[in-house]
Structure 1
Amino acid sequence: MSIIVNLDVMMAKRKMSLSELASRIDITLANLSILKNGKARAIRFSTLEAICKELDCQPGDILEYSENGPGGG
């Protein structure tokens, strides 16, 4: 079971770079990269809210639950 982070997809749709998003939401580039790569173990609601505000999306556009983990296998 796994939570899949689709942050890279939303950033591509909004044509926004990782460094631009990091500066807009006041988070380190390293921490945002960890989240984008699915390596984060948690996310603060305030961070999720800031990401959604900047990317004009819903939390479900960024986070997805998959019973079989990434790749669906």
Structure 2
Amino acid sequence: MPIRYKIDILSALKDKGYSTYRLRKEKIMGERTIQKFRNGEIVSSDNLALICKLLECQPGDILEYEE
């Protein structure tokens, strides 16, 4: 797929205090979404919006188009 993540999303979330345990326990995001981040798969726009909110960034800060 020509769109990929520029950063390791789960590491960035962990740096902000959101471990995968906390994400699941507080129902911030589900296991399937976490697995997609682990596998480098692109998630829904709703989940991207949530990531941008948690990381205080713009989509262009975490995604890039690659030919």
With structure 2 as the length reference, what TM-score do the two structures score? 0.61
Provide the residue aligned with 2:12 in structure 1. Answer: 10
> What is the TM-score of this pair, normalised by structure 1?
0.58
* 1:63 alignment partner AA: L
**SS in structure 2 of the partner of residue 64 of structure 1:** strand
Q: Over alpha carbons, which structure has the higher Rg?
A: 1
Assess if the C-alpha contact under 8 Å between 1:18 and 1:33 holds in 2. no
2:46 aligned partner: 46
Q: Which runs of 5+ in 1 are unaligned?
A: 68-73
2:65 maps to: 65
Kindly report structure 1 stretches of 4+ aligned residues shifted beyond 6 Å.
none
Following superposition of structure 1 onto structure 2, how do residues 12-31 of structure 1 map, counting pairs within 5 Å? 13-14=15-16, 16-23=18-25, 26-31=28-33
Alignment root-mean-square deviation, CA: 2.6
Aligned to 1:30, what secondary structure does the other structure show? Answer: helix
Paired residues in the alignment total 65
Question: Residue by residue, what CA displacement relative to the aligned partner does 1:20-64 show, whole Å, maximum 9, x if unpaired?
Answer: 3455662213322212421x2x52222111111111111112211
Residue in structure 2 matched with residue 70 of structure 1 by the alignment:
none
